[in-house]
Amino acid sequence: MHKSIVIRVVAVAVLVVLIPIVAITWGNDGHMAINRVAVQKLPADVPPFLRNAAEHIAYLGPEPDRWREKLEPQLKYSQEPDHFMDMELVDWMGKLPPDRYLFVRAVYEHRLVDPKFATQDTYPERVGFLPYQTLEVYGRLKVAFREYRKAQKEGRSTADAEADAIFYAGWLGHYVGDGANPLHTTVQYNGWVGANPNSYDTTKTIHWRMEGPFVGRNVAKLDFANLVTTPKKLDNAFDDYVAYLRESQKQVEKVYQLDVKCGFDGEGTAESREFIRQRLAAGAQMLSNLIYTAWIESAVEPEPYKGGGDRATPRQCEQTVTK
């Protein structure tokens, strides 16, 4: 075989071997680090079983990305919109509706009255569901904590509730980590669209270059634990998380500005590394705040279950008279 052909074959073989390794770099580094640091910062009043599970919760950080393979198409396509929200596309709403289905209804209704909005690719699944998915998993975590408290109070094993809480905390961390990346909050998620006077990247490579190879090559220089403080209880988990997304969105153009200076190539620059360090810290801080808030709020007992709830109508029965 000609020497040049041999070289090409070997090069392709090496790339094939490396692709799976590169493809999970962000998950193994960014998401895991966010989850690990968030749990390590939890105070002593959070149950020790959770604080002692930092490594397992770190492992769960990339879990939803493991659900995105075409081998499981129903899983892949049903949850992909949960990883982002293009915040520019919901500015007209002002305050976001409190749940996913009210949001879906609002988007469809707006498409009927705003022709310009309707001509864009603005179906709800294209706008994204990130804050709703995050708070839905947050709710699961709070329920698991409540079941843990109940088992303790009743003198039963807490093992099942502990397992649920650990899984939900790890799962929650993924979406909080996604929100820390400005490119998960914008229509500019992977290459600048529209007017581009600053010649920002349009090649649809910036998203992966930043959160993948760049983070992987610089993970040892991105230690951010010292930037994360003891968590605080949030006043309103949903509103505070949406505000967190909007703060992240403010950093979108900064990403592109750093990229113009080759900030995400190789080792990048001191400025680009500090930028990523700050974003990872923001994710860990919000996750730690959410876990802590879920624990505190889990002490509140819900009202007794009423079957049909407030929407139930009294059942009317015919009375049979026996002679």
Distance between CA atoms of residues 290 and 243, nearest Å:
13
**Using one digit for the tens of pLDDT, what is the confidence trace for 12-56?**
333 333 333 333 334 578 999 999 999 999 999 999 999 999 999
pLDDT more than 90, % of the chain:
81
pLDDT above 70 for 84 = yes
Prediction pTM value: 0.87
Distance between CA atoms of residues 37 and 55, nearest Å:
10
Q: Please, are residues 177 and 34 in contact by the beta-carbon 8 Å criterion?
A: yes
Lowest pLDDT segment from 169-173, 214-218, 311-315: 311-315
Distance between CA atoms of residues 250 and 182, nearest Å:
8
Higher pLDDT, 307 or 163: 163
Q: In the prediction, which pLDDT does 309 show? A: 59
Q: In the prediction, which pLDDT does 306 show? A: 78
- Which class for 115: exposed (0-12), middle (13-18), buried (19 or more C-beta within 10 A)? exposed
Mean pLDDT score, 99-116:
96
